[in-house]
Structure 1
Amino acid sequence: MPELIQTYWPYLLIAFAIGLAVAWFAFMANRRTSVVSERKDVLDEGAERAQRNQALIDAPGGTATPATDPTSQGSPTGGDELTRIKGLGPKIAAKLGEMGVTRFEQIAAWDDAEIDRIDARLDRFQGRIRRDNWVAQAKLLAAGDEAGFVSEFGREG
């Protein structure tokens, strides 16, 4: 055996060096991380959306809200009773209220990007918006279509 090593030591040394190089490249290739983010920046929404939102902010409050209309059956916070939407309980309603969502009309107007934005902030309740179809429920409730709501989503409670 020692004669064999003595005879082929240059080849063994080359094989060892190649093995080290391959191991080093394999290790370094696995350490490279690529960051891929599907989150969109606020500026990606475009100017027309920003203008629409600004117009909504600047619009004068010409209609009565549940806070000013004593005949309204809204929640005491001045918005609609969002818990009427199936899958939307008091905790989620409170989170939405913190985000400024208090009316059925707001939920009914959500598009996919807005759903993703709101859903990302719902923590352990993520996925409920699409799973329970809040937008369709809100459209019916905003329109006052109680019969359509009951026929499609069942009775409340």
Structure 2
Amino acid sequence: MQQFLMDYGLWLLAAALIVIAVVFLLTRGDGAGAPPTEQPLSAAEANAVPMEPIAAAIALVAPEPAETAPQAPAPAAQTAMATPVREETDDLLRMKGVGPKLNARLIELGITRFSQIAAWSAADIEAVDAQLGAFKGRPVRDQWVDQARYLANGDIAGFEAKYGKL
């Protein structure tokens, strides 16, 4: 036994260190595998009024042609996610899990502001998720709504504490 350790001890030590390093790298995640925790809303967030959809305001102003069938109101999911704001857009690439292709897809869907994403309900998330194609599941897995709340409120320190550096 002593001869075995003398001959192969250094190799065994190196193999053990490699195994430990691999296990460490595979398990050290940045919290993405942890279940999402719900944070209580602050008084300001609880009393916040969601942005009015511009598309709905335009639809109300447009004159209706005579003798048309009554139209069903637009689903809330579409109005909340497709609020086109052309004055100023946020850099959605700052959110974790959003790359250039996904950013372009969100812009195609009319999603350009953190405040839009922060106001999403569960139905809105499902509606957007259904249109993301290969990126399906990202809004929930990467906790976009929570990230967007931090960024929309300008809480960079809180964002970085939870999700890492921008």
Q: TM-score, normalised by structure 2?
A: 0.50
Aligned partner of 1:31 in structure 2 is none
Aligned partner of 1:56 in structure 2 is 53
| Greater fraction helix | 1
**Cα distance change, pair 87–56 in 1 and its aligned pair in 2 (3 A):** same
Distance 1:89 1:79 in 2: 16
Sequence identity percentage: 48
Distance 1:113 1:102 in 2: 19
Point out where structure 2 has 5 or more consecutive residues left out of the alignment: 1-49, 59-84
Distance 1:102 1:67 in 2: 9
SS at match of 1:118: helix
Aligned partner of 1:24 in structure 2 is none
Q: How many residues align?
A: 89
Shift of 1:56: 2.3
How large is the Cα RMSD of the aligned pairs? 2.2
**Cα distance change, pair 120–67 in 1 and its aligned pair in 2 (3 A):** closer
- Out of 130, 145, 151, the position equivalent to 2:140 is 130
- Out of 86, 94, 97, the position equivalent to 1:87 is 97
Distance 1:67 1:135 in 2: 21
Shift of 1:67: 6.7
Larger Rg: 1
Q: Is 1:110 paired with 2:117?
A: no
Q: Is 1:101 paired with 2:106?
A: no
Aligned partner of 2:20 in structure 1 is none
Deviations 1:92-131 (A, max 9, x none): 1100101100000000001110100000111011001000
| Counterpart AA for 1:145 | D
